[in-house]
Amino acid sequence: MIDISKKFPTLRTAVAFARVKMLPETVLKIFNNDLPKRDPLTVAKYAGIQAAKKTSELIPACHQVPLDYIDIKIEIIPESSTAEIFATVKAEYKTGIEMEALTAASVAALTLFDMLKPVDNSIVINEIKLIEKTGGINSIPSSADSYEAAVVVVSDSTAAGNREDKSGKAAFRFLTDLGFKTKEVLIVSDDKKEISDIVFSLVDNVDLIVTTGGTGLGQRDNSCEVLKEIIEKNAIGIAEWIRAYGRLKTPRAILSNSIAGVRGKTLIIGLPGSVAGALESLTALKPTLSHALDMINGKGH
């Protein structure tokens, strides 16, 4: 199985399709319910529903997904002597649910085959495919090619050369991979004036400023106090989401005072100083960073 522990739930949907070919006289028997195994469409429908819920037991690498909605529609097409099966599933989860939809459509088709085979030896399941899927952070446009970002590491020990910077480099790589034109990582101590001076020097010269470190409860954790004075418009939801996502990884995330907001046309975000905390925060923000910058720059929704 693929590790999805770093993902967060989004609304997922998937629709799968299957087609069953039969004899014209079999179609007539279905309409008249003149079959040894009665109500084939109803039985196939509920078999598909049950199959969707059992997907992870049938396909080894599939995750167990708590499905919120399953619907099976079966339409008989007399002109082509076929049954068309549409399986729709929905879930708020961390991974896609296309396999659940495909399994539902497949088992509904197989059940229809089983229900009709006493009267028809020519039945063929001639098509099974995924026709639609939505959801997941990868489905949300997140290109930041037109924006420039700066990373500031706030740490006494790193500024003094006693500790190697890791969180700043990690944030730099993340933003670069996301498409930002990212400036070289800057390092300052936890001194309030140093933090203020470096952030003010970047405001209006870059679109995004990300700081790492100084968000805790320690005596020298000054980043958030300084950023609070610099920010003109709070982005409370960003800070709330960083903590909400972080607490799923560690209860210590609630001790972070991470702050976010806008000054001029620059988005400023204060992140935790650990590599894990910085990367988890950026992962949580990945689907919305470029959209936030679009809004700041008047591009609307």
Q: Where along the chain do its domains lie? A: 10-137, 148-296
Cβ atoms of 131 and 15 within 8 Å: the answer is yes
CATH superfamily of 10-137: Molybdopterin cofactor biosynthesis C (MoaC) domain (3.30.70.640)
Identify the pLDDT of residue 142.
55
State the average pLDDT for the chain.
92
> If you write DSSP's letter for every residue of 234-290 in order, what string do you get?
E-HHHHHHHHHHHHTT-GGGGG----EEEETTEEEEEE-SSHHHHHHHHHHHTTTHH
Q: Which residues pair with 152 in a beta bridge?
A: 186, 211
Among 100, 136, 296, residue whose Cα is nearest residue 206: 296
Residue 217 identity (one-letter amino acid): L
Give the residue ranges of DSSP H helices in the chain: 24-32, 40-53, 55-58, 98-116, 156-159, 167-178, 192-202, 223-230, 236-247, 275-285, 289-296
Identify the pLDDT of residue 301.
64
Three-class SS state of 136: coil
CATH number for 148-296: choose from 3.40.50.300, 3.40.980.10, 1.10.3720.10, 3.90.1480.20: 3.40.980.10
Which of the following is catalytic: 114, 156, 191, 294?
114
What contacts 67, CB < 8 A, 6 or more positions away?
A: 52, 53, 89, 90, 91, 97, 100
Three-class SS state of 215: coil
Over residues 134-151, the pLDDT tens digits come to: 887 665 555 667 899 999
pTM: 0.68
Over residues 181-201, the pLDDT tens digits come to: 998 899 999 999 999 999 999
Report CA dihedral (245, 248, 252, 253) to the nearest 10 degrees. 0
Using alpha carbons, list the distances in angstroms from residue 154 to 33, 68, 94, 194, 283: 74, 44, 33, 9, 20
pLDDT tens string, the chain, 301 residues long: the values are: 888 877 778 899 999 999 999 999 999 999 999 999 999 999 999 999 999 999 999 999 999 999 999 999 999 999 999 999 999 999 998 899 999 999 999 999 999 999 999 999 999 999 999 999 988 766 555 566 789 999 999 999 999 999 999 999 999 999 999 899 998 899 999 999 999 999 999 998 999 999 999 998 889 999 999 999 999 999 999 999 999 888 878 888 888 889 999 999 999 999 999 999 999 999 889 888 888 999 998 886 6
Q: Is 294 a catalytic site residue?
A: no
CB atoms within 10 A of CB 25: 11
Identical fold for domains 10-137 and 148-296, yes or no, is no
